[in-house]
Amino acid sequence: MSSTAKSTPTPASAGKKQYPPQKPKTVIPKRQVRILMLHGYTQSGPLFRAKTRAVEKLLAKTLAPLNLVPTLIYPTGPSHLSPGDVPGFVPSSQDAPGAETDAWAWFRLDDGRGTYNRLDEGMRTLAAAMAEVTAGGEVVDGVVGFSQGAAMASMLASAMDPDRGIGAEEDEGWVEAVREANGGKPFKFAALYSGFYAVPERLQWLYEPKVRTPTLHFLGSLDTVVDESRTRGLVDRCQDPLVIVHPGGHYVPVNREWVMPLAGFVRKCLEEKA
């Protein structure tokens, strides 16, 4: 009488090399980097953005490996300029009498008294822009400015230094406003194109001691709008400034050769302050 032996099932994995289970990859969350972009005299926020879109794209590409996503904020200065306030303005035959311009300023120079009119209003406009960011739980990390916007950016960066005393009673209101708007946090960097220092005696406390926020200064070798002594004067009023001279005039250079130093500077400052 024959018998049939029962076979034992062979596991599908038999004979195969076993590996330990893979650990799930760590996903580093992306962080927004908020940057104020301050236009020059006779410009506006939307116009400045249109002129600097290449800067925005290269910054995004450079900061991507760090999982940093730049968000550029383009406020507009509060002082509306009339056609007569715009240097070199020549009305065309199509302009209606009394037509308004899309030209704005952060402050107005009073030549007779050597003061900056509406500076308080300009700073409070920036405080409002920063407050919108902090309302979402973030802070503004840095500032980029051109011409009058660069002068404004350097003053703002200096004023937001919590260790700097307020040197003029008239400025206490707006200084407290900008500091509170960013949650008491100073800027990590300031990039200044064709900037200049403020001349009013009342504002010299912003430069004494020197501006401690890391600064990168772009100077145009053919700039005929802002006198070089004013631009160099701002450089001298900053602590450990970095200076780049481009072979152009009074504008923000947007080709890759001149944007990459800005991107590298922003990245370095963010890494150091992380």
> 109 to each of 74, 103, 189, 209, how far by Cα in Å?
23, 16, 26, 24
Report the C-alpha gap between 9 and 16 in whole angstroms.
Answer: 16
Omega cis (within 30) before 214:
no
The larger pLDDT score, comparing residue 84 to residue 117, is at 117
Chain segment 168-211, per-residue pLDDT in tens: 899 999 999 999 999 999 999 999 999 999 999 999 999 999 99
Chain segment 98-153, per-residue pLDDT in tens: 557 899 999 999 887 889 999 999 999 999 999 999 999 999 999 999 999 999 99
Structure tokens at 48: 């400045």
What is the pLDDT, as a whole number, of residue 126?
98
Contact call for residues 192 and 154 (beta carbons, < 8 A)? yes
Judged against a pLDDT cut of 80, whether residue 91 lies above it is answered with: no
The larger pLDDT score, comparing residue 124 to residue 9, is at 124
Report the C-alpha gap between 160 and 171 in whole angstroms.
Answer: 12
Structure tokens at 226: 């802002």
Give the highest mean pLDDT range of 13-27, 79-93, 242-256.
242-256
- Confidence band (pLDDT; 50, 70, 90) for 23? low
Judged against a pLDDT cut of 50, whether residue 93 lies above it is answered with: no
CA dihedral 202, 203, 204, 207 (to 10 degrees): 160
CB atoms within 10 A of CB 169: 8
209: left (phi over 0), alpha (psi -120 to 50) or beta: beta
Interval 155-164 mean pLDDT: 97
Strand partners, 110: 115
Chain segment 232-258, per-residue pLDDT in tens: 999 999 999 999 999 999 999 999 999
Sketch out the chain's domains with CATH numbers. 31-86+101-272 (3.40.50.1820)
Angle between helices 148-159 and 172-181 (to 10 degrees): 80
Average pLDDT, the chain: 89
What is the pLDDT, as a whole number, of residue 208?
96
Which residue in the block uniquely carries the two structure tokens 């230094």?
Answer: 161
Judged against a pLDDT cut of 70, whether residue 10 lies above it is answered with: no
Least confident range from 20-24, 136-140, 163-167: namely: 20-24
Task: Count Cα neighbours of 86 within 13 Å in the Cβ-side half-sphere.
Answer: 16
CB atoms within 10 A of CB 250: 15
Judged against a pLDDT cut of 60, whether residue 159 lies above it is answered with: yes
